Each structure stands twice: as C-alpha cells, then as structure tokens.
Amino acid sequence: MDKRNGYVYLLGTGCGDMGCITLEGLEVLRQCEVVIYDDLIDTALLNEVPYNAEKIYVGKRKNKASSKQSEIEDIIVEKAREGKMVVRAKGGDAFVFGRGGEEAIRLNKESIKWSVIPGISSSIAIPEMYGIPVTHRGLSRSFHVISAFTKDDKLRDDIESLSKVEGTLVFLMGFYQLEEIVKSLIAGGKDASTPVAVLSGGNSINHYRITGTLADISDKVENAKVSTPAVIVVGDVAGLGLYSSEDRTDICVGLTGTDEFQAKVKKNLYRYGIRSVSLMAGDYTDLECEMSWDSLLDSVSKWFVFTSARGVRGFFDRIRADRIDLRRLSDVKFAVIGSESQKALSQFGYYADFCPAEYNSIALAEGMSKLVKENEKIVLFCSKQGTGLFESELEKSGIACERYDIYDTCLEAREIEADVLEKVTHIVFGSAAGVRELHKKNFRVMDKTLLSIGPICEKAIKEHFGATPVVAEQASVEALIELLI
C-alpha cells in the first residue's frame, strides 16, 4: 500500500441485513482505518470495524440531511491523502445507482489507488426478501432496473416508452413519483391490470409489502402510509409471494443496549429468520482516570477483574497508550464475569484464572472471596455505569476492592413510530442502563414479552416497568436467543 496516498475500497454492503455483505467486504471493514458510510447500510456492520477506526456518516437519503456528492468525494480524497485504508461503504452495490463510478473517476484524477467490492443490489435483494423473484419461468425472462429520477432530480421523461418493454420493471428512487410512473405506463399502453408491488423497508425498521395493479396501487400505498426507502416492481412476478414455512414472521424483537450488543443479538436472530428493530443507539466512551502503573504493578500479588469485554479492551488500550511492557503483568491473576469477557481477554494472549459458572456479579464475588489470599489485592476495571454490586458483595467477606471506571456507556432511545412499535413482540435487555433509558423515554412495554440477560437487569425491569421478565439462564447472548426459539 502506498502510505502517501493510502487506499480506497468502494464497497457495496448488500441490501437488508448485514448477512448480505460479501466475505471480502467484511474483511476490508475489519481492517479499515476510516469508514465513510451511507444511510442505507445496516449499521450493525459498523461494529465489525476496528474500535479505533474513524466513522464518518454522510447520509444520502432523499428528503433527509445529507452531504453533497462533491463533499463526500473530498472526504474520501482527504482521508486517503492521510495514508489511511479507507472504505466507502454503500447500501446495495456501489456501481448500481450508487455513484461509485463518479468516486472512482475522482480517485483516478487524484492518482489514488482504489478497487471496488461488489454488493447485492437492492433491485434484486429487496424483491427477494418479499418473496418476489425478478425472473421466473413462464412469467418473466428478463428484468430492467430503472432510476426514476434524472441527475436534475426530476422524473425521467421516457417512462411511457418502458410500457413496451418485456419482462419485469424494477424502479429505484421512484416512491415519491409512484402515481406519475403508474399513469405514464398506462398511457404508454401497459395493461392497467398488470401486477405491481411496492416494497418498503429493506434494512429499515418499517417493512411493508403492498401489492395491487397499475390501476389501484397508488391508492393502496397512500392508505397504508408506506415510507421510503422503497422498491417498485411492475410485472407478472409482482403477484408472487414465495415464503419459507420456517420464516418466523410472528416474532419481532426490539433491541436495546450498545450497538455492539445489538449486533451480536441480531446476528443470532438472523439464523432463525427472526426480525429485529433497534430501539436505541449506544456506544462506549473511554474515560480519563488516574492510574498509577507503578502502584498497580508493584510487587504485591493482585487480581485484575473485568465485568465486561469492553472493560478488557479498555484496559489493554491504556496499557498500549501508556507503553507498558506486558511482561510486567506476569504475576497478575485475571478474573472475568463471563464467556464474552473471557474471550476478549484471550485475544490479548491472557487466560482467565477464574470465571464463575453463573455469569453475574454475585457469583463472581462469591468465587473470588474463596480464592483471594490474605495478602492479595483486587482491582476492578469497569464501566462508570457499574452498579457496585461486585464490590459490596466482597465487602460482606471483609475483602476490599480498588475500582477504576475506564469507560462509560452512552445510550439514547430512538424515535420509533407507533405503528413500528406495535409490531414488536419481544424486547431484549442486556443491561440495567438500557432499561433506564427506555423508561426515561416512556416506552410502552406492557404488551411485550421482556427478556433479561440476568438478575441485575431483571431487578431494573421490575423497578421501572413493574413487569416480570423472562430471565436467561446465563448472562450471554446465546442464552437470550434460547428464550426465543
């Protein structure tokens, strides 16, 4: 890689769930230093990029605040000039109405090296998600993908001529001009009884599949209050609705907690065909706290304790930032609260000396109280949101604990439309902080099945919502999924 100019990947992330991305696309996301992304990607993919990578949102949704194309190209060039590996992530395919070609031309002009990674276009993926094949023997031998708008943001003037085209017509970016498209096709000679499907949602939280004919589809869509993004399919195949008997359309899971936690849950739900809706946005913030490494790594025998995978990563971030020689940890013992923090620790080449059979603070403290020797010291690295339960349980055994809040969790409930929230049947809670945030925004949850990752979260649900949740047997994503399948 030319470090003077870096390298740019024009990446199509596919359309819909993050599972639609290619293996190559996922690999470059996991290695990038900068990701510049659109509104139409599955934001769960952002959890695959390195934690210290720069994430730049540029919008690109009609009728919503977005960066101009020239501004986006300037950002791509600027970051590449810094010698970084840049991923320009787009929904669908970068070269199918994704303006990836324009970005490629600009990069060539700037003498910056680049390559394109194909993605699954929404013109194919969205119809498939709703059981509509764009080609089907006996119904359609071809399909045609059409942008409804010109570069001047006007409805193209050749719609009537498309009425003579054989096969399936797939319109992108045409939702707001549906009525004009329909009238033009009929005026051009298309039979008014031709099947039409308007497919809204894709990777968004609001899914609609409205079917009809050229004669009545406009009225049906208006009455259903369908929203963008949407794909319009015109042709005999639009009347098909091919669904697997295994699809769990009866369940829709509301997700809370950090984006990282939600991505793990969503990935597991995807395996079972279960839909999910993100109810909040959440991320981590590193905190500045006074840490004396000379004191922490002196000759006194110590246990370093982690109650989350993020705490593990935050600790080793500090180790790296302060240039601490890892050999100084040779006499330290490690304790973790569960399988995720255990896995995170192993990624740094260390293995936990203790992990409780039950993944919660009480079990961790009870186990530690039996292991810690009289001359040993316990140091906890955790979130500012930590309840203090671990320390208080240790105090019952007369054991002191030194605590460092090395990160904070920032959660914000999303504005969810009422008709979307009505579709949610279950809500998954992975932390008490997620419970508090939903309660603060007055979310109505009494008609939902509430799922808790553990007893602390269970207690918060009872206190704030007056409801009794179903509690996972272990504090893990896998155990939560077991409650749903």
Side chain identity at residue 353, one-letter code: D
Side chain identity at residue 185, one-letter code: L
C-alpha span between 95 and 98 (Å, rounded): 5
Residue 337 token pair: 């609260």
C-alpha span between 143 and 135 (Å, rounded): 7
C-alpha span between 319 and 404 (Å, rounded): 14
Residue positions annotated with a catalytic role: 38, 60, 173
C-alpha span between 339 and 342 (Å, rounded): 5
Side chain identity at residue 451, one-letter code: L
Q: State the Cα angle at 482 between 356 and 387, rounded to 5°.
A: 45
C-alpha span between 477 and 256 (Å, rounded): 12
Exposure string for 26-50, b = 16+ CB within 10 A, e = fewer: bebbeebbbbbbbbbbbbbbbbbbe
C-alpha span between 262 and 397 (Å, rounded): 36
Q: Are 93 and 12 in contact (CB under 8 A)?
A: yes
Alpha helices per DSSP H over 339-388:
339-346, 361-371
C-alpha span between 258 and 51 (Å, rounded): 13
C-alpha span between 447 and 450 (Å, rounded): 9
Total Cβ atoms within 10 A of residue 370: 8
Rounded to 10 degrees, the C-alpha dihedral 364/368/370/373 comes to: 180
Per this entry, what is the length of the chain? 485
